[in-house]
Amino acid sequence: MAVLTKEIIIEDILAKFEGSLILDEQTATDLPLLICKRESIINLLEYLYFHKQFQFQFLTTLCGIHYPDNQGAEFAVMYQVHSLLSNIRLRFKVFLSQDDLHLPTLTTLFASSNWMEREAYDFYGIIFDGHPKLTRIYNVDEMDYHPLRKEYPLEDQTRQDKENLYFGR
């Protein structure tokens, strides 16, 4: 049997999920990034999880990302999975419009996604349909905003105690 490489796995899933995946060649790391359609992410991760040779059965990361200037795809959820069998990691991103922040939950496949999905909901407002307890995990329930969205200025313009000299202005 040939040695399993990330190139072999990527070629396999690009063929299997043709039209649902795009390989991002612009990544600055050695970790492959594939852009996936929302309706295919569960089937893709189940395929990788149950595949006899691949066995991507460890979800290392699930997080939300806000791209406010990316019109029509302002939010993303990034999934990173690891095959302990072959020591290969893959990353996937699903982009979402700010008008439709719904994704299916991964909790039935990866129990570890429970808190990660709650964190993405708490900080970005991304809703994971079918999640067993999608409530805030860090912030109080009374908060009416999601603090990691890039919707606010970086500086407090009302402060009077800042000298421009010290801030390179």
In the chain, what are the domains?
Answer: 6-23+31-144 (3.30.460.80)
Which pLDDT score is estimated for 1?
53
Question: What proportion of the chain, given as a percentage, has pLDDT over 70?
Answer: 89
pLDDT band for position 151 (50/70/90)? confident
100-116 pLDDT per residue, tens: 999 999 999 999 999 99
In whole angstroms, how far apart are CA 64 and each of 19, 50, 57, 118? 24, 25, 21, 10
The whole-angstrom separation of Cα 48 and Cα 104 is 17
The arithmetic mean of pLDDT across residues 5-11, rounded, is 94
DSSP state of 34: E
Nearest 5°: phi and psi at 89? -115, 145
Instruction: Report whether pLDDT(168) > 90.
Output: no
Winning range, highest mean pLDDT, from 20-24, 28-32, 155-159: 20-24
The whole-angstrom separation of Cα 54 and Cα 86 is 7
Give the H/E segment covering residue 113. Answer: helix 113-124
Instruction: Report whether pLDDT(160) > 80.
Output: no
53-95 pLDDT per residue, tens: 999 999 999 999 999 999 999 999 999 999 999 999 999 999 9
Which pLDDT score is estimated for 28?
72
- Give the angle subtended at the CA of 131 by the CAs of 126 and 134, to the nearest 5°: 60
The whole-angstrom separation of Cα 23 and Cα 26 is 9
Q: Nearest to residue 71, comparing CAs of 94, 47, 99?
A: 99
User: What distance lies between CA 94 and its chain's CA centroid?
Assistant: 7
